[in-house]
Every structure is written in structure tokens, then in C-alpha cells.
Amino acid sequence: MSSPPDFDRDLRSIHEARTLARAAVAAQRQIEQFTQEQIDAIVEAMAAAGLRESERLATMACEETGFGKQADKVAKNDFVLRNVVEAMRGMPTVGVLREDREQRVFEIAEPVGVVAAIIPTTNPTSTALFKCLIALKARCGIVLSPHPAAKACIKASADVLHEAAVSAGAPRGIIGCMTVVSMEGTEELMRCEDTDVILATGGSAMVKAAYSAGKPAYGVGPGNVPAYIERTADVQQAVRDIFSGTTFDNGTLCSSEQSITYDRAIREQVLAAIQEQGGHILQPDECERLAPVLINLRAMMVNPKMVGRPATTIAKAAGITVPEGTRVLICPLDGVGPQYPLSHEKLSPVLALYEVADWQQGCERCKELLSFGGLGHTMVIHSQDDEVVMQFGLHKPAHRVLVNTVAAVGAVGLTTGLFPSMTLGCGSWGNNITSDNVGPQHLINIKRLAYGIRPFESSTVAAPAPRSAATTTTAPEPPAPEPTAPETPTAETPTAENLERRVQDFLRGRGIIGAIAPEPVGPAARSRTSEARREPAAAAREMQPPEPPRGASPVASATVRKATEGTEREAVARSPSPRPVEFVAEDDVRQAIDRGEKICVGPRTIITSLAHELGNQHDIFDRR
């Protein structure tokens, strides 16, 4: 007889999230009092313990998820435990960070608090180790929410580092990991009052949830990394690097190469190198069979069952026969976009292949690929022409433009001088808060101690004139000679209640009261803002202030403009306006285009890359 369903699993998950977050808060309040020496000793102890368990954790990850290669997962763990820790050595995260002696400003570190860390199934142990290390380096507590398909290896990674930290003097509870995993529990962890910041690595739905949780969040976007081989490149080395990247842990890193674009002039060299490196070029009908196996065509997302699988396994699932020893499947394509599904991010040893006439066409092709699900992330160019390389650096919508290296590991900082990290920001292009390789510096608030360095000269600030009966009376001012300079401002502050009266009094006193019509208020003004979807130029013309009468003085003209601008702002402020939506997808933009409407968006609105590009092309967004 089957066991009864666990009806209260979501409640237990929520309870666990709250309990772990409270424990992390208590521990974090203790550790924030530690010295730099104490913090550094704890981090070193954690790294040493992680290295002793690196192989065991990697084996657990492979067995639990079925993704990638055990040896490569060991390499990723060791990268975190060695390279990331080495980069953090000597980095100040306690007390005074910097001092500007000339300006007498001191920058002082404060931990952000408790981190809610979302851990993916593609790189489970290395990401868990990384986030725990940078959190404690910044004197933060951390609670991990593991992917359900990798919760055992992620919990084991957290336990190894937690016990090492406690043994080195850290308070117990400084690292926590959920064991009852559910969407409800993860959302509670991100939203609860004890959480201060979110580090989200995972699918687009999870990253969207993180940004909607009402807390500061570092989310990362997809890669879809293009690799371009320019005619001056060392072709053999370029193809070797690209294959090394896309086969490293079977392509599970978001920075792994997803396509090859090459110049037509080196076509024969590229194709020969592909075959020498173990690539198998598919026929058009084989590409058509592969696409629905590798990509969910309705959602335009990679099939999780094919992520991190060997090329031969993927080919077999698609009914394609490939030579023994095939390392990479190569799919020649004519374009980019939903009609070419294999131009999407694949997270497996499968590469799209494009031929272009020259670097200018190669430049545009790489832009298209990045725009199709990889904006802001990473691209790599193989070239010996520094001018072409610089053009790519200046004009590509990627925040990591790599040169003559393996993109998969160059982006994380293994083969480049970038800060070593397992969390790569995509900036505003990818709807992320940062374009950096995330590190402990992103988990520190900086407060500034600033001394006065120059006296306050009160004579440089105009003092208000004393109040007079003329400024408080409701009677019209008597006619006066036209002034030649602005009048001294009075102490009375314009408000929504007295602004119109004061404007009318002023204009009546200058004898021009009948020259302009008062700006409409109430329903008339409200209708102006409610028609935000009208043709922009017409709306702009209607919103222009009326011209002052011919012959009016410069002061009167300026006053008319200020008065009408003020009443217009008052009317807009009192008018109802649409609320920004929370999420915009490409279909939302297309529907808005068909209806001729705008989409109201705000600073917290999540906009997918394709929606962002299409919406900007058609001026769809009403930004609030």
C-alpha cells in the first residue's frame, strides 16, 4: 500500500525557512563583531575543509543530478576553494576600507545581513561552496535553498563548510540549508523579514521570483555565448578552445560556448579543425530532428533532461547516428530566433554554426545571438587583429567580451584576470542589478565618515524676505510698473490649494489676466494623463504651455511658464495613472503592438530580453 501524500510539506518547508533565517540572524549579529583576522581565519578553515571533501561532493553531484562529468565538477569545486579564496586574501571587509585624506572621507564596511541563496542543479556543489565563502568573508549569515534535484549534495556542501566555520570560531547557525524544499518554502526564505539580500542562480522563473520578493537581489541571466573566429585567428587553437568550453562538464556552465561564427575566408580551416577535434556536422534533416529533443519549442527553453549530457547520448535520443568518440554536435544554421531553435542556449556539447563574409557581419550575428536569450552575459572573439577586437569590445551587448580563451572558464575568471566567481551579472541588458562577477564586495554596505573641509558661507545663500501683508492678503495687487528684475521671493510656499489663486492675483495685477486660459484641473486634467496611449507627438503638442501675450515682459513670460507648468504638474499628480506591471514577455509586447497600446513598466518590472528589444523598437513601454 502506498504511503499517504505529504499534504503539509509546503508548511514544513515554510517553517524550516523561517527557523533557519532566524538562526542565521542571531549568528550574523555575533560575527559582525569579529575582526578581519578572525574572519580570514574562518574562511581559510572553510576552504581547507572543502578541498578535503571536493571529490566526494563532486561524485554526489554527478550521481544525484546525472549532469556533467565528475572530474570537471571536482575542477569547479577546486576553482572556488582555491582561486576564489586566493582572490579574497588581503581583501578588507571589516572596518575602514578606504581613506581619502585630502577630502577627509572614510569608507567603512558593514555586512548586508542574511543572504538567501538559491542554488541550481547544473553547478550545485561549486555554487553552494562559492556563496557560503563570499557570505562569511563579508560577515553575513547565509541560508541555502537547493534545487530539489540536487538537495543532498548541496546540503552536504553546506554542512562541510558550516562545521569548519564553527570549529574556527564562527557561531553555529551562520550557514543553513533547507532540507524540505518547496516553492512555498523558497519564496518564504526570500520574502521573510530576516532575509536582507538574495543571491539567485537558477532558471528564469526563479530569478523572476527573486526580483519580485521585495528584497535587494542579485539574479543572473542565461548565457547563449557566441564564439567568433575572425580570419586572422589561430584557427586550430580557436576551435580547440571552443570545444574545451562546450564540453567542460558537458556545457553546464552558463558561460559555455553555444555557437561558432567564422569568416568565409577561413571556411576550410574551420571545418577541418572541427572534424579533428571530434565534432560531427549534422545534416539539415538531422538538425530538425535534434531541435525538439534539445529545446522545448513552446517555451523556447532547454530540455532539462538533455542538460549536461554527452553528445552521443543526445544524438541517440534524437535518433541520429554519429561516429564513436564524437565530442560535439555541430548544427549549421541560416538564422537566429524562435524559427531556429538550436540558436538558443543549449547547456550541452551542441553548437550552432554560422558562416559570415567578414567581421562586420560577424559582429551583427553575435549581436543577434546575444539578443536571443544572452543579453549582457558573455561572448568570445578569436582574432589577432586588435582593432577588430576593440570594435567587439566597444559594441557588443555583453559585459564579458573575452579574447583568445575558453569562454566557459574565462568568464568565471580561471583563464582571465576577471574576479573569480560562480555568479555572473548581466547588467541592465539582462535585467540584472549588476554587470560584475559577484563577490564578497557585493555583500557589503559602505558607510562614509565625512569631515567638514570648507566653511558654510551663509552670505552665498539668499535669505527670504520677511512676510508682508501684501503676500498674505487675498485681494489683488495694485497695478505696478513692469519690473526689470525678478522680485524677491516671499516666505509663502506655493501649495496645491493657493497656487492657482496666487497666479491669478499676479496676472491680474499685471493687467494680463485675460490673455491666457487657466490650465484645466479636475476631470479635464485627469483625462490628459489617462490618454497616455495616444500618438506621442500629438500628446506632446497638447502638453505644451500656452504662450504669453505679445509684449509681455520677460518676468511675466517666465511667470506664465512656471504657473502653467506648476498647475500641469498638480493636475498630473492628482490624476489616476496605470500601475506598472510585474512581468513582460514577448507575447505581451506583440499583443500591445496589435492593440496599439502602451505597457506601463516601472523600476521593479521584469522584462525578458526579447520583450525588451521588441518593445524598444516599437516604443511600447510607458516607463513610470
In this prediction, residue 497 has a pLDDT band, given cuts at 50, 70 and 90, of very low
Q: What pLDDT shows up at residue 349?
A: 97
Is-above-0.75 flag for pTM?
Answer: no
Residue positions annotated with a catalytic role: 254
Distances from the Cα of 575 to the Cα of 132, 139, 284, angstroms: 48, 47, 57
Residue 432 pLDDT level (bands cut at 50, 70, 90)? confident
| Nine-digit cell string for 1 | 500500500
CB contact at 8 A, 244 and 256: no
Q: From CA 92, how far away is CA 139, in angstroms rounded?
A: 11
pLDDT at 95: 95
pLDDT for 327 beyond 90: yes
148-202 confidence digits (pLDDT tens): 999 999 999 999 999 999 999 999 999 999 999 999 999 999 999 999 999 998 7
pLDDT score of 528: 26
The predicted pLDDT at position 213 comes to 85
Domains and CATH numbers, the chain: 9-220+441-449 (3.40.605.10), 225-419 (3.40.309.10), 466-479+493-574 (no CATH), 583-623 (no CATH)
Span 228-260, pLDDT tens digits: 999 999 999 999 999 999 999 999 999 999 999
CA end-to-end span of the chain: 57
Instruction: For residue 60, give the 3-state DSSP assignment.
Output: helix
SS3 585: coil
Buried b (16+ CB within 10 A) or exposed e, 44-67: ebbbebbbebbebbbebbbebbeb
**What does the pLDDT average to over 452-474?**
61
pLDDT tens for 347-374 read 999 999 999 999 999 999 999 999 998 9
pLDDT of residue 615: 85
Q: Which of 133, 125, 139 is nearest to 161 (CA)?
A: 133
- Residues 136-140 have a mean pLDDT of 98
- Any idea what DSSP says for residue 567? H
Tell me what pLDDT residue 454 has: 92
CA dihedral 494, 497, 499, 504 (to 10 degrees): -140
**What type of residue is 342?**
L
Mean pLDDT over the full length of the chain: 84
- pLDDT tens, position by position, 262-305: 999 999 999 999 999 999 999 999 999 999 999 998 888 899 99
Task: Name beta bridge partners: 355.
Answer: 262
Q: Cα separation of 341 and 351, whole Å?
A: 12
Is residue 30 over pLDDT 50? Answer: yes
Residue 507 has pLDDT above 80, yes or no: no
> What share of the chain in percent tops pLDDT 90?
64
Query: What does the pLDDT look like over 605-621, one tens digit per residue?
Result: 878 767 777 888 888 89
Residue with cell 532539462: 304
Three-class SS state of 375: coil
- Can you tell me the mean pLDDT for 419-431? 90
* CA R_g for the chain: 31
So what's the pLDDT on residue 576? 54
